Amino acid sequence: MAIRPILIIPDARLRAVADHIVEVDEEIKTLAKDMLDTMYDAPGIGLAAPQIGVMKRIVVMDLAAEGETPTPLVMINPEITKFGDEIQVTEEGCLSIPELYYEVERPSTVTVKYTDLDGQEVTKDADGKLAVCIQHELDHLDGVLYIDYLSRLKRDRVIKKFDKQAKLAAR
């Protein structure tokens, strides 16, 4: 398959809302494979289609540690149907905001409903790292970035840094 370029902030497509996928066809299956190849190459544990400039509601993730057998997960039109009451604080990073990591508060459990690559509807309960990853990746489908959960000061600092890099790269 193909490794696709990952968009970096301040690219406006990262703030757009992705479109619902009507049918799981060969184009979507190829997109999922490309996304997994891109994620593994980065390397990362999750990737949403808007991060490669494709405005469709699909995310991929794989939380297998290095040396473990890969366990890729593809979610089409995912939707969180339930958030747990407990909150966890974890350090998050993002392939679209490279080399920066911040602590973010999120519910420690979620229930997600999605369509798999076979067109089957799946409901999955997740906790810990998987719950965080699901929330992070699904946020991308709605134009939300993890830095949006930071204080205004920290978020503004990150945006200013990447705006400056983008301007320098454009010269």
Identify the DSSP state of 68: S
Which residue among the candidates 26, 105, 121, 137 is catalytic per the annotation? Answer: 137
Q: Are 77 and 119 in contact (CB under 8 A)?
A: no
Q: Are 20 and 109 in contact (CB under 8 A)?
A: no
For this structure, is 137 an active site residue? yes
- Cβ neighbour number for residue 74 with a 10 Å cutoff: 22
Beta bridge partners of 74: 60
Q: Are 144 and 106 in contact (CB under 8 A)?
A: no
Q: Are 81 and 124 in contact (CB under 8 A)?
A: no
Residues designated as active site = 137
